Amino acid sequence: MKKIIALILAGGEGSRLSVLAQARAKPAVPFGGIYRIIDFTLSNAANSGIHHIGVLTQYKPLSLMEHIGNGEAWGFFGRTRRIKILPPRTGKEDSDWYKGTADAVRQNLDFLDSYEYDAVLILSGDHIYHMNYSDMVKFHRDRDADLTIATMRVPIEDAQHFGIAQVDHHYRIIDWEEKPKKPRSNLASMGIYIFSRDFLHKAITKNAGTDFGKHIIPDACQNARTYAFPFSGYWRDVGTLKSYWQTNLDLLSPEAGIDPGKWKIYPNLDEKHRIGDRPPTFVSSNATVQNSLISHGCVIEGNVINSILSPGVYVQRDTVIKDSIIMSGCEIGEGARLERVILDKEVNIGEGARIGEGEAVPNEEKPHLLEAGLTVIGKHAHIPRKAHIGKHCVIFPYVKINDFPAPILPSGATLKKNKETKEPAEEVE
């Protein structure tokens, strides 16, 4: 598709992912052992024949930029293929950042216009899904559309979290509601758009609005040829800890419909902490692994049940890990018990620690942050031996043993580092 150029919106802060997105952009959060969230969008684009991509970054971009590199991992490298990182240009203050999705594209019209194209594919970098964009492009061109929006049916109780379209029998959008409190339809936007070149220029230069869903799309539905492309495959917004956890665990269920290998989703194998040159996984004779995804370089001497382990995880003897996500380089001490726990990179769990036990009371600082009994621990944290940590707890990155006020952290607690000790605000990982 030589006349198509793609922009990936990858500047999201990801505050609902709590400590997982504290020092990295949401699209750079690790997923499924060897991937990052943005790998799915990048791979979909590569597999759809998209040759030129701009990646719009903003919040904590270093890990994302390091991960993407020159794009070679996804084939965006060479004379006819290109990927370019596009940060905000105006200044260093927060007020100079992109003010919304439409503003981000508006600031990069000169990048788009450096190519010959007739349509722009605008993608989100923080969703887990598989789509051949060429089908959507054909749908767009067959209808001579000004704007086409990828949509799918969602449960009506979830519709309030999306842009919602009402369509006629030709799938032309006749009404649009952005995150309505009382939705009249369950046809939800997936955050994937195709704009014709001329209409995009007209829409974002004449309309001063900063956001597609709130400003550009409602106007387009009234004054332009705007269509809803129907999609029915696997697609998940992993913007909350619960959805992130559940989507990871979907990898362990053949019925869930997610299959990165079959979908040809490409990780960056040369990146630090990934497969790279790591040895094969070692599982001792006394260990058990049940319905779990175990990456290269792991050493399993304990018990892993229904969990995802990234490269280089060490599970010591008599440990039980259940329904959990363990990222690269973590070490789980002998006799520890973890249930419904998300560990970021390089976390050290002391021997005999118990994490994820007790009553599932709301988190004390952010009651709506954690659900389903989850507990999340930030990167490089150290958990004391024999510690007892309840459900719905948040432990911030770089917390050390002497930061614990007591060996028991009750359900719903949040633990941060001693203010006198500073950790890096952002690091390349």
Query: Residue 188: which residues within 8 A CB-CB, separation 6 or more?
Result: 151, 152, 153, 154, 158, 159, 162, 163, 164, 165
Average pLDDT, the chain: 91
Residue 58 binned pLDDT confidence (cut-offs 50, 70, 90): confident
Find the DSSP H helices in 19-61.
38-47
Q: What is the pLDDT of residue 96?
A: 61
Which H or E element spans position 105? helix 101-106
Q: What is the pLDDT of residue 88?
A: 79
Q: What mean pLDDT is predicted for residues 325-346? A: 97
Please write down the long-range contacts of 313-320, taking CB distance under 8 Å and 24 or more positions apart: 315/287, 316/351, 317/284, 317/286
pLDDT tens figures, 406-427: 999 999 999 998 865 555 555 6
DSSP 247-290: HHHHTT-GGG---HHHHTPPP-TTSTTSSTTPPPPEE-TT-EEE
Which domains are seen in the chain, by residue range? 4-260 (3.90.550.10), 277-415 (2.160.10.10)
Place of tokens 């997923």: 31
Q: What is the pLDDT of residue 300?
A: 98
Please measure the distance between the N-terminal and C-terminal CA atoms of the chain and give it in whole angstroms: 34
Instruction: Name the residue type at position 248.
Output: N
pLDDT tens figures, 101-134: 899 999 899 999 888 899 999 999 999 999 999 9
CA–CA dist 419, 387 (Å, integer): 22
Nearest to 34, CA basis, from 253, 218, 323, 266? 266
Q: What mean pLDDT is predicted for residues 64-70? A: 92
Query: Residue 164: which residues within 8 A CB-CB, separation 6 or more?
Result: 176, 177, 178, 179, 180, 183, 184, 185, 186, 187, 188, 189
Q: What is the pLDDT of residue 206?
A: 86
pLDDT tens figures, 369-382: 999 999 999 999 99
Q: Please check whether residue 40 is in contact with residue 128, taking contact to mean a CB–CB distance below 8 angstroms.
A: yes
Q: What is the pLDDT of residue 420?
A: 56
